[in-house]
Amino acid sequence: MLKVEHLDVRYGDLQVLWNVSIEVNEGEIVALIGSNGAGKSTLIRAITRLVEPAGGRISFRGIPIHDKPPHTIVSLGISMVPEGRRIFPKMTVLQNLEIGAYLKKARKKKDESLSMVFDIFPVLEERSNQQAGLMSGGEQQMLAVGRALMAGNRMLLLDEMSLGLSPLVVKNIFRVIRQINQAGISIFLVEQNVPMTLRIADRAYVMESGRIISHGRSSELMGSDHVRSAYLGI
Protein backbone atom coordinates (compact mmCIF):
# COMPACT_ATOMS: atom_id res chain seq x y z
CA MET A 1 0.00 0.00 0.00
CA LEU A 2 2.75 2.44 1.06
CA LYS A 3 6.32 1.91 -0.09
CA VAL A 4 9.36 4.04 0.75
CA GLU A 5 12.56 3.14 -1.11
CA HIS A 6 16.09 4.37 -0.35
CA LEU A 7 14.89 7.72 1.00
CA ASP A 8 17.35 10.48 1.90
CA VAL A 9 16.28 13.73 3.56
CA ARG A 10 18.37 16.81 4.31
CA TYR A 11 17.73 20.04 6.17
CA GLY A 12 20.14 22.31 4.35
CA ASP A 13 23.59 20.77 4.68
CA LEU A 14 22.47 18.44 7.47
CA GLN A 15 21.38 14.98 6.36
CA VAL A 16 18.85 13.40 8.73
CA LEU A 17 17.65 10.30 6.86
CA TRP A 18 19.90 7.83 5.03
CA ASN A 19 18.66 5.17 2.60
CA VAL A 20 15.40 4.54 4.46
CA SER A 21 13.11 1.83 3.07
CA ILE A 22 9.80 0.75 4.64
CA GLU A 23 6.56 -0.91 3.49
CA VAL A 24 3.01 -0.90 4.87
CA ASN A 25 0.63 -3.49 3.45
CA GLU A 26 -3.12 -3.07 3.35
CA GLY A 27 -4.78 -3.78 6.69
CA GLU A 28 -1.56 -3.66 8.71
CA ILE A 29 -0.43 -1.66 11.70
CA VAL A 30 3.26 -0.98 11.07
CA ALA A 31 5.34 0.89 13.62
CA LEU A 32 8.52 2.93 13.45
CA ILE A 33 10.23 2.97 16.83
CA GLY A 34 13.30 4.76 18.07
CA SER A 35 14.51 7.38 20.48
CA ASN A 36 13.76 11.08 20.32
CA GLY A 37 15.73 12.73 17.51
CA ALA A 38 16.20 9.52 15.52
CA GLY A 39 14.44 10.98 12.47
CA LYS A 40 11.06 9.29 12.85
CA SER A 41 8.92 12.42 12.45
CA THR A 42 11.05 13.53 9.51
CA LEU A 43 10.09 10.34 7.70
CA ILE A 44 6.37 11.07 8.14
CA ARG A 45 6.92 14.65 6.99
CA ALA A 46 8.71 13.35 3.90
CA ILE A 47 5.92 10.89 3.09
CA THR A 48 3.38 13.74 3.23
CA ARG A 49 5.79 16.07 1.37
CA LEU A 50 6.01 18.58 4.20
CA VAL A 51 9.74 18.23 3.61
CA GLU A 52 11.22 17.47 0.22
CA PRO A 53 13.23 14.25 -0.14
CA ALA A 54 16.81 14.61 -1.33
CA GLY A 55 16.70 11.19 -2.94
CA GLY A 56 14.72 7.97 -3.15
CA ARG A 57 11.15 7.13 -4.05
CA ILE A 58 7.80 7.01 -2.24
CA SER A 59 4.70 5.36 -3.71
CA PHE A 60 1.14 4.78 -2.54
CA ARG A 61 -0.83 1.99 -4.17
CA GLY A 62 1.71 2.02 -6.97
CA ILE A 63 1.46 5.77 -7.62
CA PRO A 64 4.65 7.81 -7.06
CA ILE A 65 3.98 10.53 -4.46
CA HIS A 66 7.47 11.79 -3.61
CA ASP A 67 6.98 14.63 -6.12
CA LYS A 68 3.33 15.39 -5.29
CA PRO A 69 2.09 18.35 -3.17
CA PRO A 70 0.57 17.55 0.25
CA HIS A 71 -3.06 18.13 -0.79
CA THR A 72 -2.70 15.63 -3.64
CA ILE A 73 -1.28 13.03 -1.26
CA VAL A 74 -4.30 13.49 1.02
CA SER A 75 -6.67 13.18 -1.95
CA LEU A 76 -4.99 9.89 -2.94
CA GLY A 77 -5.84 8.38 0.42
CA ILE A 78 -3.30 9.27 3.15
CA SER A 79 -4.18 11.26 6.27
CA MET A 80 -1.75 12.35 8.98
CA VAL A 81 -2.17 13.06 12.68
CA PRO A 82 0.78 15.37 13.41
CA GLU A 83 2.95 15.44 16.50
CA GLY A 84 1.52 17.94 18.98
CA ARG A 85 -2.05 17.51 17.62
CA ARG A 86 -2.18 20.93 15.84
CA ILE A 87 -5.88 21.49 16.43
CA PHE A 88 -7.51 24.92 16.08
CA PRO A 89 -8.06 25.88 19.75
CA LYS A 90 -10.42 28.83 19.20
CA MET A 91 -12.74 26.83 16.95
CA THR A 92 -15.33 24.35 18.19
CA VAL A 93 -14.81 20.61 18.18
CA LEU A 94 -17.32 20.27 15.33
CA GLN A 95 -15.62 22.96 13.26
CA ASN A 96 -12.27 21.20 13.70
CA LEU A 97 -13.81 17.95 12.49
CA GLU A 98 -15.48 19.59 9.51
CA ILE A 99 -12.10 20.96 8.39
CA GLY A 100 -10.97 17.35 8.05
CA ALA A 101 -13.66 16.85 5.38
CA TYR A 102 -12.45 19.76 3.27
CA LEU A 103 -11.70 17.79 0.09
CA LYS A 104 -14.59 17.32 -2.34
CA LYS A 105 -14.69 13.52 -2.02
CA ALA A 106 -14.75 13.84 1.78
CA ARG A 107 -17.53 16.44 1.80
CA LYS A 108 -19.82 13.96 0.04
CA LYS A 109 -19.44 11.53 2.95
CA LYS A 110 -19.16 14.10 5.74
CA ASP A 111 -22.23 12.94 7.69
CA GLU A 112 -21.20 9.29 7.44
CA SER A 113 -17.65 10.08 8.55
CA LEU A 114 -18.89 12.26 11.40
CA SER A 115 -21.11 9.44 12.64
CA MET A 116 -18.12 7.06 12.60
CA VAL A 117 -15.94 9.53 14.51
CA PHE A 118 -18.63 10.05 17.16
CA ASP A 119 -19.02 6.26 17.52
CA ILE A 120 -15.28 5.92 18.18
CA PHE A 121 -15.02 9.07 20.33
CA PRO A 122 -18.38 9.73 22.08
CA VAL A 123 -16.81 12.59 24.07
CA LEU A 124 -16.36 14.56 20.84
CA GLU A 125 -20.09 14.43 20.17
CA GLU A 126 -20.82 15.48 23.75
CA ARG A 127 -18.50 18.47 23.38
CA SER A 128 -19.09 19.28 19.71
CA ASN A 129 -19.98 22.91 20.46
CA GLN A 130 -17.13 23.48 22.93
CA GLN A 131 -13.95 25.34 22.02
CA ALA A 132 -11.33 22.71 21.22
CA GLY A 133 -8.63 24.46 23.25
CA LEU A 134 -10.63 23.97 26.45
CA MET A 135 -10.45 20.18 26.29
CA SER A 136 -7.85 18.02 28.02
CA GLY A 137 -4.74 16.85 26.20
CA GLY A 138 -6.18 13.38 25.71
CA GLU A 139 -9.42 14.75 24.31
CA GLN A 140 -7.49 17.02 21.95
CA GLN A 141 -5.56 13.98 20.72
CA MET A 142 -8.86 12.22 20.05
CA LEU A 143 -9.98 15.29 18.12
CA ALA A 144 -6.81 15.25 16.02
CA VAL A 145 -7.43 11.60 15.13
CA GLY A 146 -11.09 12.28 14.43
CA ARG A 147 -10.20 15.17 12.13
CA ALA A 148 -7.90 12.87 10.14
CA LEU A 149 -10.63 10.23 9.87
CA MET A 150 -13.02 12.82 8.42
CA ALA A 151 -11.05 12.72 5.16
CA GLY A 152 -12.41 9.21 4.58
CA ASN A 153 -8.97 7.83 3.74
CA ARG A 154 -7.77 4.25 4.13
CA MET A 155 -4.34 5.01 5.58
CA LEU A 156 -3.42 6.96 8.71
CA LEU A 157 0.05 8.21 9.61
CA LEU A 158 0.22 8.75 13.38
CA ASP A 159 3.10 10.81 14.77
CA GLU A 160 3.89 10.42 18.51
CA MET A 161 0.33 9.82 19.71
CA SER A 162 1.33 9.27 23.35
CA LEU A 163 3.41 12.44 23.72
CA GLY A 164 2.57 14.33 26.91
CA LEU A 165 -0.37 12.12 27.90
CA SER A 166 -0.98 10.21 31.12
CA PRO A 167 -0.52 6.40 31.12
CA LEU A 168 -4.28 5.82 31.41
CA VAL A 169 -5.04 8.08 28.44
CA VAL A 170 -2.23 6.47 26.44
CA LYS A 171 -3.72 3.03 27.06
CA ASN A 172 -7.07 4.27 25.74
CA ILE A 173 -5.47 5.88 22.68
CA PHE A 174 -3.74 2.62 21.75
CA ARG A 175 -7.02 0.74 22.17
CA VAL A 176 -8.61 3.18 19.73
CA ILE A 177 -5.75 2.71 17.23
CA ARG A 178 -6.50 -1.02 17.17
CA GLN A 179 -10.23 -0.29 16.78
CA ILE A 180 -9.59 2.01 13.81
CA ASN A 181 -7.40 -0.64 12.19
CA GLN A 182 -10.08 -3.28 12.65
CA ALA A 183 -12.44 -0.97 10.73
CA GLY A 184 -10.21 -1.49 7.68
CA ILE A 185 -7.79 1.44 7.94
CA SER A 186 -4.06 0.75 7.53
CA ILE A 187 -1.82 2.51 10.03
CA PHE A 188 1.80 3.65 10.07
CA LEU A 189 2.61 4.53 13.66
CA VAL A 190 5.64 6.55 14.76
CA GLU A 191 6.15 6.20 18.51
CA GLN A 192 8.57 6.46 21.43
CA ASN A 193 6.35 4.29 23.64
CA VAL A 194 7.94 1.06 22.45
CA PRO A 195 6.27 -1.50 24.77
CA MET A 196 2.70 -0.50 23.92
CA THR A 197 3.54 0.02 20.26
CA LEU A 198 4.95 -3.48 19.82
CA ARG A 199 1.88 -4.95 21.51
CA ILE A 200 -0.49 -3.63 18.83
CA ALA A 201 1.71 -3.48 15.69
CA ASP A 202 1.94 -6.33 13.19
CA ARG A 203 5.45 -5.34 12.16
CA ALA A 204 7.95 -2.70 13.18
CA TYR A 205 11.08 -0.92 12.00
CA VAL A 206 13.77 0.35 14.35
CA MET A 207 15.39 3.69 13.46
CA GLU A 208 18.57 5.03 14.98
CA SER A 209 20.40 8.18 13.80
CA GLY A 210 18.32 8.41 10.64
CA ARG A 211 18.85 4.82 9.52
CA ILE A 212 16.72 1.69 9.70
CA ILE A 213 18.83 -0.75 11.69
CA SER A 214 16.37 -3.65 11.94
CA HIS A 215 12.81 -4.70 11.18
CA GLY A 216 10.51 -7.67 11.56
CA ARG A 217 7.40 -8.99 13.23
CA SER A 218 6.68 -7.20 16.50
CA SER A 219 6.91 -10.47 18.39
CA GLU A 220 10.40 -11.04 16.97
CA LEU A 221 11.57 -7.55 17.93
CA MET A 222 10.21 -8.00 21.45
CA GLY A 223 12.68 -10.86 21.73
CA SER A 224 15.63 -8.96 20.25
CA ASP A 225 18.42 -8.37 22.76
CA HIS A 226 19.09 -4.88 21.34
CA VAL A 227 15.44 -3.80 21.46
CA ARG A 228 14.99 -5.26 24.94
CA SER A 229 18.02 -3.45 26.35
CA ALA A 230 17.73 -0.15 24.43
CA TYR A 231 13.95 0.38 24.46
CA LEU A 232 12.30 -2.01 26.92
CA GLY A 233 14.73 -1.64 29.82
CA ILE A 234 15.19 -5.40 30.12
User: Domain map of the chain by residue range?
Assistant: 1-77+154-234, 83-152
Mean of per-residue pLDDT scores for the chain:
90
Q: What is the Cα 155 distance to its own chain's centre?
A: 9
Rounded distance between C-alpha atoms, residue 136 and residue 61, angstroms: 37
What is the pLDDT, as a whole number, of residue 191? 86
Write the class of the CATH domain 1-77+154-234: alpha beta
Task: Give the up-direction half-sphere exposure of residue 148: CA atoms within 13 A in the CB hemisphere.
Answer: 26
121-126: long-range contacts at Cβ-Cβ below 8 A with a sequence spacing of 24 or more?
Answer: 121/145, 121/146, 121/176, 124/93, 124/97
Q: What's the pLDDT tens digit per position in 141-154?
A: 889 999 999 888 89
Integer-rounded Cα Rg, in Å, for the chain is 17
User: Is the pLDDT reported for residue 23 higher than 90?
Assistant: yes
Question: Residues 178-200: what's their mean pLDDT?
Answer: 90
pLDDT digits (tens, 9 = 90+) for 195-232: 889 999 999 999 999 999 999 999 888 888 888 887 77
